Amino acid sequence: MRLVQLTIPTGKRETVLELLDEKGVDYVVTDETSGRGYTAVVYFPLPPSAVESVLDALHDEGISEDAYTVVVDAETVVSRRFDRLREEYEDGDIEDDRISRQELRTHAEDLTPTFGVYLTLTIISALVATAGLLLDSPAVVVGSMVIAPLIGPALGASIGTVLDENELLYSGLKHQFLGVGVAIASAAVLAWVVRTGNLVPPGFAIADVDEIAERLAPDLLSLVIALGAGVAGVLSIATGVSVALVGVMIAAALIPPAAAAGIAFAFGEPSAAVGSTVLVFVNVLSVNLAGMITLWYTGYRPESLFDLEVTQKRVRRQIGALALVVLVFSAFLGGITYSSYLVGGFEEDATAEVEDLLAEDYEELRLVNLEVELDTDYPFRGPNRVVVTIAGPPGEVYPELTERIHERVTQHTDDPVAVEVRYVEAVGD
């Protein structure tokens, strides 16, 4: 529930009260004695779904933004008339659960800190994410997402587009793209310090760190995070639900990939940074795309009806353009996904070949493990080496086994692949 406090300008008292009576709204009026052009202050409770309609009706009656209007949460309203009003405005549709356009705009502004604070928190979150990736620590990476202030700008740009609020739109875009750039640069600086300061073991390779490797070669599933975060973020703010956890989800789509890109640049592997950099920007665009579509679907429109047609055309153009760019980037991620699929298929085929060979000619041997190591040709990685571990009786030698395994395995790929066979002695069953 909401409690609205409205200052009534001189000459508008009767108009305001008649409108509230017409809509069946309970109200209390007190005289205003400040002498600033207002005659009274009216207080009235409303269901969240009725706030926008009532405030728009008051605006149409000449109550401009010069009058003070305050909307606050009300824990409980006990009134039969209020219950009837709530039944009138709430019929179970998703639009009935959303907050007013005026509240939405305020929430978006509140979620975006001042530019200096935003950059500071973004840098800190990027540095923490970089440390977490280099340490291969999922817990630290999650911690970096918690402090990332990305949800405000991400949702602000979508809200500004749909409501035709250019200042909110441009502020959201500026914060997002500068934030991403600063995050990548901050991660690169820290990773360079770590590398030049010999704070990592000799021979350290970023491809050997799981938390980094998975973000250097992202696949199409990564888009699910960004699209889901955009939809969930808008729904959470539009329905008045806490957005804290959704903010972590949006940060998950942006901060760790940005940190991985910075690490790759710092370690002199720009090709490895391509996949994660593309992932960052496609996630930014996907969050905005999902946010705009969700806002329009839930019924948000600009305040002025004269701007509705123009805004509708612009929103459609922007959704189309964003969808096209996301589709292009998705093709790139699809290529990475296909490469991963080929590697998975190669591993299955290689495993089947080795098992068949052992079953046919080496019944006393058993396949313990087959591991496919990938090359460093990011982002489309292929098999580089196959390590086969076989268990067998002690003291036995199989001079032709390695060559036969090599022949069986390499026939399933056109890439030059090294095959290493490891023999372990098995005693007993």
The Cα–Cα gap between 121 and 113 comes to: 10
Q: How high is the pLDDT of residue 189?
A: 95
Q: How many CA atoms lie within 13 A of 209 on its CB side?
A: 22
Highest mean pLDDT pick, 109-113, 172-176, 220-224, 244-248: 172-176
Residue 81 has which token pair?
Answer: 């008339």
Q: What is the pLDDT of residues 361-416, one digit of tens each?
A: 888 899 999 999 888 788 788 899 999 999 988 888 888 898 999 999 999 888 88
Q: Give yes or no for a contact between 41 and 29, defined as CB atoms under 8 angstroms apart.
A: yes
Whether the pLDDT of residue 260 is over 60: the answer is yes
Position 90, amino acid: E
The Cβ of residue 119 has, within 10 Å, a number of other Cβ atoms equal to 18
Nearest Cα to 64, choosing from 24, 15, 29? Answer: 15
Nearest Cα to 30, choosing from 39, 40, 22? Answer: 40
More confident residue, 132 or 311: 132
Nearest Cα to 291, choosing from 233, 241, 222, 247? Answer: 233
Q: How high is the pLDDT of residue 124?
A: 94
Q: How high is the pLDDT of residue 244?
A: 62
Residue 427 DSSP class: -
The order of strands in the sheet holding 418-425 is 366-374, 383-392, 418-425
Residue 415 has which token pair?
Answer: 């890439």
Q: Give yes or no for a contact between 343 and 365, defined as CB atoms under 8 angstroms apart.
A: no
Q: How high is the pLDDT of residue 200?
A: 80
pLDDT band per the 50, 70, 90 thresholds, residue 26: confident
Residue 388 DSSP class: E
The Cα–Cα gap between 8 and 17 comes to: 10
Residue 203 has which token pair?
Answer: 């021979």
Q: What is the pLDDT of residues 59-71, one digit of tens each?
A: 877 777 667 788 8
The order of strands in the sheet holding 38-46 is 28-31, 38-46, 2-9, 69-73
CA of 216: how far to CAs of 350, 385, 425, in Å?
25, 19, 38
Position 266, amino acid: A
Residue 4 DSSP class: E
| Contacts of 398 by beta carbon, 8 Å cutoff, 6+ apart | 362, 365, 392, 423
Backbone angles phi, psi at 234, to 5 degrees: -65, -45
In the block, residue with structure tokens 């991985």:
260
